[in-house]
Structure 1
Amino acid sequence: MYLREAGNVDGPVLVLIHGGGVAGWMWRAQIEHFAARHRLLVPDLPGHDHSHGTAFTTSAAVVAELVAHLDRLPAGADVTVVGFSLGAQIAVELAATHPELVTRVVVVSALTRGVALAGLGDRLVGLTAPLARQTWFARLQAKALFVPDDLLDDYLRTSKALPKDSLLALTRANSAFRVPPAWRTFPGPALLLAGGKEPRALREGMRQLGRDHANSELVVHPGAGHGLPLQHPEWFNARLGDWLRRHL
C-alpha cells in the first residue's frame, strides 16, 4: 500500500485516510494547511491510485497494514488518525483495536449502521463499474463527491484505474461495517464531523458514535453533503486545527 510522507518530520503525526473511490490527493488542502506543524502520513488505500495494483480485500487488512506503519514510528509518538467515509470506518477500527498506537481520532462522515440489500448492491456495482472508466460518468461522480475542478484529473485517473473486484470489496466492507465494542473504551479524545445534508442514517449513526464515546465532540456543518473535507476545506481545517490545539 502506497504511503506518502510529508510535512514536519519532527512534529506530531497526522494520518489522513481517504474514502472509497478517491485517494490521498483528496487531502491536498489539509496537507498544505498542516504540513508546517505535523508529520503527515497519507496512504492510497489498496485499489486506489498509486495502490491500484494491490487489491482491496477487507478493512481489517488495511488496518493491519497501517498498524505495521505506525509500529515503525518512535516509541510514544503522538498520532492523530483522521478518516473520511470508508476511511473513517477504518480510523474507528484502528483506534478501537490498537489504542496503544493512536493518541486521538477524527471521524468524518462514517456510515455505522450498514446498508440493507447488500446482494443487490453487489449487482448494481457490477453493472456500473464499467461506467467509472468513462470520462462523462466519472465527471458526474466527481461532482456528487464535491471534487473541485483542480483535482478532477486526479479523480478521473483514480476512478478509471480502480479494479472492479476492489470496488466490490470496498462496497461490501462499507455496508458491513459495525462499530467495534472496544470503541467505548478508546482512551483518547475523538472529534466527529458530519454534513447536515448527509443521509439521515449516517447522521444518526454519527450521533450514536458520539454517545458511545464519553470523550467525543460532534460538529455538524449544516450546509455540507457527503464530502466535507473537499466541499468546505477551510471550515474543515479550522475545526480540526482548533480541536488539535485543545487536545495536543
Structure 2
Amino acid sequence: MYVNVDEGSDPVLMIHAAGVSGWMWRPLRELLGPTIKAIVPDLPGFGRSAAQPYLSHEDTVRGLTDVIERHAPQGAHVVGFSMGAQLAILLASELPRLVRGVVVVSAETKPAPFPGPTLALLSLAAPLARHRRFAAAQAHQLGIPNRLVDDYFHDSAATTRETLLSSVSENIRFTLPATWSDYQGAVDVLVGANERKLMHESAELTASALPGSTLRTVQGAAHDIPFSQPGVIASTLHGQIIGFTP
C-alpha cells in the first residue's frame, strides 16, 4: 500500500473514499499546518495502489494497522470519508490502542436496500468511468474542485471492475461492529445537510451507538465535505488533538 507522510508531531491517518485516492485530502492538508503529521495511504485498488485489488474491509484494515504501527506506533487520530470512514470505525473498534480519536465523515452505517441490483447496474456502468465526460460529471456531483479533476479522472480510468464492485459491495452492506460502543476516544460524526436520507440515518445511528460522541450536520454541504467544507474537518481535528490525553 502506497503511503505519503508529512513531517509533523501530531499524527493523523487520513482514509479516502472509494473511487478516489489520497489526493482528495489536499484541501484539508493545506489547512492543518506544520504540526500535523499527515499519514495518507492510497488504499488497495486506488491511486498509486491500483495494481493491488481491493479485496475487503477486513483485509484493508490489516494493511492500515501496519501503516499506523510503522508511522505512528504510539497511535494516531483518524479521519475517514465515506468508505474510508467505515474503515476508521473498524480501526477504532478493533484496535483502540492505535486510535487516539476519530472523525467520521459521511459514513454509511445502515445497509442500503437492494444491494444486488445496485451492484449489477454498477458492473454494467463500470466502463463509463474511463470516459472523461462521464468522469467529469461524476466529479462535479462529488464537489471535486477543478484543480483536482485530473486526479479524479486518472483514478477513475485506473480502477478495475473487480475493485469497484468489491469496494462498493463492502460499502453498501456495512454495519457498525458491536465493539464500536466500547471505544473510549473522542469521536465526531459529520454529515452534510444536503446528503440523502440514508446518510442522515446512518450518522444518527453511528453517534447514538457510542455515548459521548458528537454529531454535527454541516450546512451547505452534500456528500462532499472534504472538498466543500475542509475547514470544518480541520477545526474538528484540531479540537480533538488539543483535548487528547495519553
| Aligned equivalents of 1:134, 1:74: Cα separation in 2 | 39
Aligned runs of 1:169-248 on 2, under 5 Å? Answer: 169-247=166-244
Question: 1:94-145 CA deviation, whole Å, 9 max, x = no partner?
Answer: 1101111111111000000111211111211111100000000000000011
1:105–1:188 CA contact under 8 A, matched in 2: yes
1:241 Cα deviation after fit = 2.5
Amino acid of the structure 2 residue aligned with 1:186: Y
Q: Which residue of 1 aligns with 2:99?
A: 102
| Aligned equivalents of 1:74, 1:114: Cα separation in 2 | 32
Q: Which residue of 1 aligns with 2:38?
A: 40
| Aligned equivalents of 1:74, 1:121: Cα separation in 2 | 38
Amino acid of the structure 1 residue aligned with 2:118: G
Aligned identity (percent) is 33
Amino acid of the structure 2 residue aligned with 1:4: N
Tell me which of 85, 90, 102 is aligned to 1:88: 85
Amino acid of the structure 1 residue aligned with 2:200: R
Amino acid of the structure 1 residue aligned with 2:32: F
SS at match of 2:107: coil
| Aligned equivalents of 2:239, 2:217: Cα separation in 1 | 15
Amino acid of the structure 2 residue aligned with 1:230: F
Where do 5+ consecutive residues of structure 1 fail to align? none
Q: Which residue of 2 aligns with 1:138?
A: 135
Q: Which residue of 2 aligns with 1:2?
A: 2
SS at match of 1:184: helix
| Aligned equivalents of 1:50, 1:129: Cα separation in 2 | 20
- If the length of structure 2 is used for normalisation, what is the TM-score? 0.95
Change (3 A) 1:69 1:191: same
Q: Which residue of 2 aligns with 1:30?
A: 28
Aligned runs of 1:104-119 on 2, under 5 Å? Answer: 104-119=101-116
Q: How many residues align?
A: 245
| Aligned equivalents of 2:33, 2:16: Cα separation in 1 | 17
Amino acid of the structure 1 residue aligned with 2:78: V
| Aligned equivalents of 1:244, 1:217: Cα separation in 2 | 15
| Aligned equivalents of 1:78, 1:134: Cα separation in 2 | 41
1:73 Cα deviation after fit = 4.4
Tell me which of 37, 46, 51 is aligned to 1:53: 51
- Over aligned residue pairs, what C-alpha RMSD do you find? 1.4
1:17–1:91 CA contact under 8 A, matched in 2: yes
| Aligned equivalents of 1:149, 1:112: Cα separation in 2 | 30
| Aligned equivalents of 1:74, 1:85: Cα separation in 2 | 23
Matched, 1:128 2:119: no
Change (3 A) 1:236 1:102: closer
1:7–1:35 CA contact under 8 A, matched in 2: no
Amino acid of the structure 2 residue aligned with 1:228: I
| Aligned equivalents of 1:43, 1:51: Cα separation in 2 | 9
Greater shift in the superposed pair: 81-90 or 204-213 = 204-213
Where do 5+ consecutive residues of structure 2 fail to align? none
| Aligned equivalents of 2:77, 2:128: Cα separation in 1 | 36
Q: Which residue of 2 aligns with 1:20?
A: 18
SS at match of 2:12: strand
Question: 1:52-73 CA deviation, whole Å, 9 max, x = no partner?
Answer: 1000010111100111122234
1:6–1:35 CA contact under 8 A, matched in 2: no
1:35 Cα deviation after fit = 4.4
1:205 Cα deviation after fit = 1.5
2:68–2:75 CA contact under 8 A, matched in 1: no
| Aligned equivalents of 2:241, 2:45: Cα separation in 1 | 31
SS at match of 1:21: coil
2:31–2:231 CA contact under 8 A, matched in 1: no
1:12–1:78 CA contact under 8 A, matched in 2: no
Greater shift in the superposed pair: 169-178 or 65-74 = 65-74
Q: Which residue of 2 aligns with 1:71?
A: 69
